[in-house]
Amino acid sequence: MTLAQKKYYKNMLIKKLSELTSNIADKRVSGLQEFEESESDIYDVCSQSYSKEQIYLLCEKDLRLLSEVEQALNKIDSGSYGLCEECEDPINEKRLKVVPWVRFCIQCQSKLEDDAAA
């Protein structure tokens, strides 16, 4: 991978990292405000509980993705970015452009998914 390609992917990953960090903070703030401002009858409590769970699940998903983006940035720094974690072959450039934090080439990803489904 060339220096220009590494710089390109690093910029994409930093942008995604910033976006995720902002999204997580916004979800937490809006979730807290929603619960602080509402009335407390039984229906509101049920609704709040459901909303709180949804916000938690969205934040959890974003936190997992944030971790993957951070790992990809570490790989750029260590020189292993763009290599499949399973077979160590280069990951297709088209795949990296779509999902720059991807960890596996398409063949290994398919095999992992098949093994998980079995």
The pLDDT tens digits for 8-50 are 999 999 999 999 999 888 876 666 555 555 556 666 666 666 6
pLDDT band at 118 (very low <50, low <70, confident <90, very high): confident
Q: Average pLDDT in the 48-55 region? A: 70
Cβ(3)–Cβ(9) below 8 Å: no
Q: Average pLDDT in the 95-114 region? A: 96
Q: How far is CA 10 from CA 21, 40, 46, 98, in A?
A: 16, 47, 43, 14
Contacts of 68 (CB under 8 A, 6+ apart): 101, 103
Q: Is the pLDDT of residue 56 over 90?
A: no
Query: Is residue 91 exposed (0-12), middle (13-18) or buried (19+ Cβ within 10 Å)?
Result: buried
Domains of the chain by range and CATH? 1-80 (1.20.120.910), 82-118 (no CATH)
Q: How far apart are the C-alpha atoms of 5 and 28, rounded to whole Å?
A: 35
Q: Is the pLDDT of residue 80 over 90?
A: yes
